[in-house]
């Protein structure tokens, strides 16, 4: 019996299907600051936040990437990013991105990734500058909520989402500053700035706040790059930060997390075309390109794509893949060639260029300068015009020129053997009447046309 049970258990164990799920990387629990700030975590109502602003109040939201607050060098960076937030401008390597409908604020994977094993890395923050024309306890009752993708029953506000509020026990700090204008006028020398544990009930005209923030976590070198991959496969990735105060209103702003910007390959790409300028239909053009690695490290694999423009470089379209995939060591180069047969004459101004891209993820591309212009203005070689002559009254003939569009030189000569061809006029394709000029003793006149352009 024991043998039968053991066999049955083995069969059942190996009959369980294995299902694999793509899990998001670990994330932080959210942060509203440091310096001993006491928070009363109370989620905002699940109903949509009704945005409104009291008279004399302004809300200024932004997004910024700051160091992970457990990093040993974090304290030394605080004056820099707080100055950038307070001035709404770049300072000390930090640039707050204003959140409004006219611009799309973007932070990258590297801006929100923390390496837990070293406490190095960056987190996003949603700074707030809240101003009021009257002195108010702006910190007491200020609530916040962060929403992101990845909503689950365990994380109703998303992978990076959390919420909370500041209450009577909360305190001002270096990254949550209160400013009392005293006389209602900012910057006249008597302003009082609170940064050292003053209670939330203190009356102020302005709050300059580092903002709530969060981050993704890479535990070890083994999972390096998983934040990049997670964001790349979950675009778009909006993060919305909301603030509300029972006395002065509320505000909401959204920024987007995207994969790291593709690195620009250290490539030099050049192209040439022969012939160029005005060419005839059927002319075979030879395009020659070269891409060279001028960087210090190997680049690749690389792939070339020839592009063509029909409007003198105004817009470009993929034309033909070069077909060569190469990995270039430092200083190494590779050539790419292509041919193009000119079509019928038209009004297009052709230019060509070569796009060289990395085939790995993320893809980065470098473009060559465009070739000189090519115009197809001449007919195919051997395509001769036609000439028809009919009487058109005494002393005149009707001459009709057919064939490709263009300009033609109409020539004539008399029937005397020693007569020379004389250019009568320059015509375009079509018909027209011409006079007959006979020499002495002549009864016939001959005509011919030659294409000029």
In this structure, are 145 and 246 located in the same domain?
A: yes
Query: How many domains does the structure of the chain reveal?
Result: 3
Q: Higher confidence at residue 13 or residue 369?
A: 369
Give percent above pLDDT 70 in the chain. 71
β strands within 104-142, DSSP E: 106-108, 113-115, 120-136
Q: How far apart are CA 350 and CA 243, in angstroms?
A: 55
In this structure, are 97 and 212 located in the same domain?
A: yes
Answer whether 27's CB lies under 8 Å from 159's CB: yes
pLDDT band at 42 (very low <50, low <70, confident <90, very high): very low
Domain of 245, in residue numbers: 26-258
Q: How far apart are CA 364 and CA 92, in angstroms?
A: 29
> What pLDDT score does 10 carry?
36
In this structure, are 104 and 225 located in the same domain?
A: yes
* Residue ending a domain, choose from 329, 358, 378: 378
Residues 6+ apart with CB under 8 A from 154: none
In this structure, are 224 and 343 located in the same domain?
A: no
Q: Which two tokens stand for residue 196?
A: 């050292």
For residue 12, tell me if it sits in a domain. no
In this structure, are 236 and 370 located in the same domain?
A: no
Q: What are phi and psi of 345, to 5 degrees?
A: -55, 140
pLDDT of residue 60 exceeding 70, the answer is yes
Mean pLDDT over 401-409 rounds to 64
For residue 7, tell me if it sits in a domain. no
Mean pLDDT over 52-80 rounds to 87
Mean of per-residue pLDDT scores for the chain: 78
For residue 36, tell me if it sits in a domain. yes
Answer whether 379's CB lies under 8 Å from 345's CB: yes
> What pLDDT score does 202 carry?
94
Point out which residues pair with 411 in neighbouring strands: 423, 448
Q: Name which of 193-202, 286-295, 303-312, 414-423 the model is least confident about.
A: 414-423
Q: How far apart are CA 10 and CA 217, in angstroms?
A: 38
- The domain spanning residue 419 has which CATH number? 2.60.40
In this structure, are 397 and 355 located in the same domain?
A: no
Q: Which two tokens stand for residue 228?
A: 């990049």
> What pLDDT score does 398 carry?
72
In this structure, are 252 and 142 located in the same domain?
A: yes
Sign of CA dihedral 406, 409, 412, 417: negative
For residue 103, tell me if it sits in a domain. yes
For residue 365, tell me if it sits in a domain. yes
pLDDT band at 405 (very low <50, low <70, confident <90, very high): low
In this structure, are 272 and 254 located in the same domain?
A: no
In this structure, are 364 and 334 located in the same domain?
A: yes
User: Strand, helix or coil at 24?
Assistant: coil
* Residue ending a domain, choose from 236, 258, 280: 258
pLDDT band at 198 (very low <50, low <70, confident <90, very high): very high
Q: How far apart are CA 307 and CA 286, in angstroms?
A: 14
pLDDT in tens, 302-320: 888 899 998 888 888 888 8
Point out which residues pair with 166 in neighbouring strands: none
> What pLDDT score does 8 carry?
35
Q: Name which of 4-18, 229-243, 297-311 the model is least confident about.
A: 4-18
Q: Which two tokens stand for residue 218?
A: 């890479």
- How would you classify residue 305: left for phi > 0, otherwise alpha for psi between -120 and 50, otherwise beta? beta
For residue 21, tell me if it sits in a domain. no
> What pLDDT score does 23 carry?
62
In this structure, are 57 and 30 located in the same domain?
A: yes
Residues 6+ apart with CB under 8 A from 104: 256
Q: Which two tokens stand for residue 365?
A: 């591309």
For residue 1, tell me if it sits in a domain. no
Sheet holding 238-245, edge to edge: 106-108, 249-258, 238-245, 143-147, 162-165
Q: Name which of 40-44, 263-267, 437-441 the model is least confident about.
A: 40-44
Q: Higher confidence at residue 333 or residue 241?
A: 241
Answer whether 327's CB lies under 8 Å from 377's CB: no
In this structure, are 202 and 180 located in the same domain?
A: yes
For residue 13, tell me if it sits in a domain. no
> What pLDDT score does 394 carry?
65
pLDDT in tens, 244-282: 998 888 888 999 999 887 655 577 888 999 988 888 888
- The domain spanning residue 370 has which CATH number? 2.60.40.10
Q: Which two tokens stand for residue 247?
A: 């006395």
Task: Give the max Cα distance, the chain.
Answer: 133
Query: pTM score, two decimals?
Result: 0.55
* Residue ending a domain, choose from 327, 350, 378: 378
In this structure, are 247 and 327 located in the same domain?
A: no
pLDDT band at 426 (very low <50, low <70, confident <90, very high): low
Residues 6+ apart with CB under 8 A from 235: 258, 259
């Amino acid at each position: 019996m024991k043998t039968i049970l053991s066999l049955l258990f083995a069969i059942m164990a190996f009959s369980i299907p294995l299902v694999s799920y793509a899990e998001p990387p670990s994330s932080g629990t959210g942060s509203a600051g440091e310096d001993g700030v006491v928070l009363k975590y109370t989620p905002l109502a699940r109903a949509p936040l009704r945005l409104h602003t009291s008279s004399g109040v302004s809300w200024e939201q932004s997004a910024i990437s700051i160091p992970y607050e457990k990093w040993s060098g974090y304290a030394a960076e605080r004056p820099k990013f707080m100055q950038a937030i307070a001035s709404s401008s770049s300072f000390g390597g930090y640039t707050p991105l204003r959140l409004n409908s006219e611009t799309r604020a973007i932070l990258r994977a590297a801006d929100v990734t923390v390496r837990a094993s070293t406490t190095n890395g960056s987190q996003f923050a949603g700074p707030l500058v809240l101003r009021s024309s009257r002195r108010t306890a702006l910190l007491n009752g200020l609530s916040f909520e962060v929403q992101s993708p990845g909503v689950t029953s365990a994380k109703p506000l998303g992978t990076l989402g959390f919420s909370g509020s500041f209450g009577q026990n909360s305190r001002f700090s270096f990254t949550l500053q209160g400013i009392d204008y005293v006389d209602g006028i900012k910057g006249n020398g008597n302003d009082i700035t609170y940064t050292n544990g003053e209670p939330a009930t203190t009356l102020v005209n302005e709050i300059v706040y580092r903002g709530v923030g969060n981050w993704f976590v890479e535990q070890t070198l083994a999972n390096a790059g998983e934040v990049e991959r997670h964001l790349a496969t979950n675009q778009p990735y909006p993060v919305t930060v909301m603030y509300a105060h029972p006395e002065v209103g509320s505000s909401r702003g959204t920024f987007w997390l995207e994969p790291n910007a593709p690195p620009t390959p250290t490539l030099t790409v050049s192209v040439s075309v022969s012939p160029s300028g005005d060419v005839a239909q059927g002319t075979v053009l030879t395009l020659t390109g070269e891409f060279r690695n001028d960087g210090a490290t190997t680049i690749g694999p690389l792939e070339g794509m020839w592009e063509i423009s029909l409007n003198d470089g105004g817009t470009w379209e993929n034309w033909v893949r070069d077909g060569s995939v190469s990995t270039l060591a430092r200083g190494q180069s590779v050539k790419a060639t292509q041919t193009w047969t000119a079509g019928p004459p038209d009004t297009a101004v052709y230019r060509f260029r070569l796009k060289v891209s990395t085939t790995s993820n993320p893809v980065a591309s470098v473009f060559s300068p465009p070739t000189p212009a090519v115009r197809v203005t001449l007919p195919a070689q051997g395509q001769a015009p036609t000439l028809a002559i009919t009487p058109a009254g005494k002393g005149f003939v009707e001459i009709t020129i057919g064939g490709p569009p263009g300009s033609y030189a109409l020539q004539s000569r008399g029937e005397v053997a020693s007569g020379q061809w004389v250019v009568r006029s320059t015509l375009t394709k079509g018909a027209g009447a011409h006079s007959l000029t006979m020499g002495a003793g002549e009864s016939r006149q001959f005509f011919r046309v030659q294409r000029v352009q």
